[in-house]
Amino acid sequence: MVNGDFNVSHATFDFHTVEELEMRFGGYKYLFVDEAQRIVDIGIKLKAIIDAFPQLQVVATGSSSLDLSNFTTEPLTGRKFEFILSPFSTQELYDHDRINAVMDNLHLRLIYGNYPEVYLNPSDAAEILAEVTGSYLFRDVLSYQEVRRPDLMRTLLKAIALQLGNQVSYAELGSIVGLDAKTVERYIYLMEQSFIIFRLGSFSRNIRTELKRSNKIFFWDNGIRNALINTFDPLNNRQDVGALWENYFISERRKYMLNRRVGFDHYFWRTTQKQEIDLIEVAGQDLRAFELKWSPKKKPSPPLTFSQNYPNAQMLVINRENYLPHLLNEGSFSKMG
């Protein structure tokens, strides 16, 4: 086990000959490198190790996906598999606490999210999230020299949090924060690569009235979003329950697809007449349309424009009573619905 946070560990990778490689890595079955992005030329050095010892299983992790991806992508092409370690997924929560705990605690997940430390220490959830958003959250992004005004980045993220579930305009966000639209887009990209947020583009197959170049921005974790606006009120005292539910289900569905290693694309759909579907999922030949409603009493019909133009799409209305089968692997529990 090597930890790139410690300078002494870097010497392990200061090799120049095959003999030095053999002395340091020969005979091992596994090599774990944490914070690998902090080690100079880590991609090239891991390539040399893997080529010399094909039986060696190397696991390289890092909190900075920006750096780790940049340093390893080209040297390790064809030699690696990438995994995204997100906050706990619904499947992981179910595996840990089973069905009743998952369903009974849904309201807490919408407010405090699924970060492991938050989930395992519920009495300290707000304090933990305040600490995460106050320092650790921005560490990766702020290490980039492109970010000259870190205070504005935080202000931008708060502005995005307040527009959760709505279409965003880079120019409008820029006017709120005091940045030009191109800088806003670059900052959003950096925060995306650090797995703070993700964008959904608009789904269109050239129907005249469909929006074609719009974006919505969601958070990988509800707790981070709520911490940014410093609001942990219970659901019955909030005006943003619908947006919280939309963010939660969409982020959990992304984790579900990623953890199954299924190729997919996610979008939202909207027309100039303001007909809308919350989540469009394209996976191979499958097209699924998810309409997300917190209340089980709401049973909306699919927009006529969508159903006429996409007759093969699977239409699903998701609420807090029927959502679990869409986030759990088959066979996780016997009573589906």
Residues 125, 256 within the same domain: yes
78 in any annotated domain: no
**Res. 337: pLDDT tops 50:** no
336 in any annotated domain: no
Residues 143, 249 within the same domain: yes
Q: Looking at residue 336, what is its pLDDT?
A: 40
Residues 281, 154 within the same domain: yes
Quote the CA–CA distance of 168 and 199 in Å, as a whole number.
10
Residues 11, 147 within the same domain: no
Mean pLDDT of 300-306: 89
Mean pLDDT of 191-210: 85
Q: Looking at residue 335, what is its pLDDT?
A: 44
Residues 112, 213 within the same domain: yes
Residues 289, 174 within the same domain: yes
335 in any annotated domain: no
Q: Looking at residue 298, what is its pLDDT?
A: 86
Which of 148-157, 214-223, 291-300 has the least mean pLDDT? 148-157
Q: ∠55-60-65 over CA atoms, to 5°?
A: 145
**In this structure, are residues 225 and 185 in contact, taking their beta carbons and an 8 Å threshold?**
no
**What tokens appear for 138 in the block?**
């921005």
Which three-class secondary structure state does DSSP give residue 227? helix
124 in any annotated domain: yes
Mean pLDDT of 9-24: 86
Mean pLDDT of 19-33: 89
Residues 64, 108 within the same domain: no
Burial class for 275, CB neighbours closer than 10 Å (0-12, 13-18, 19+):
middle
Residues 145, 209 within the same domain: yes
Residues 110, 68 within the same domain: no
311 in any annotated domain: yes
CA distance to 8, 40, 84, 118, 276, per residue, from 193 (Å): 29, 21, 11, 22, 28
**Res. 256: pLDDT tops 90:** yes
Q: Looking at residue 334, what is its pLDDT?
A: 47
**In this structure, are residues 227 and 64 in contact, taking their beta carbons and an 8 Å threshold?**
no
Which three-class secondary structure state does DSSP give residue 16? coil
21 in any annotated domain: yes
Q: Looking at residue 6, what is its pLDDT?
A: 79
List the domain range (segments joined by +) for residue 56.
2-72
Which three-class secondary structure state does DSSP give residue 117? helix
Nearest to 228 by CA among 282, 301, 164: 164
Residues 51, 96 within the same domain: no
**Res. 72: pLDDT tops 60:** no
Residues 159, 41 within the same domain: no
Q: Looking at residue 79, what is its pLDDT?
A: 67
**In this structure, are residues 39 and 10 in contact, taking their beta carbons and an 8 Å threshold?**
yes
Q: Considering its fold, how many domains does the chain have in total?
A: 2
Mean pLDDT of 89-107: 89
Q: What is the pTM of this model?
A: 0.85
Q: Looking at residue 156, what is its pLDDT?
A: 93
Residues 55, 105 within the same domain: no
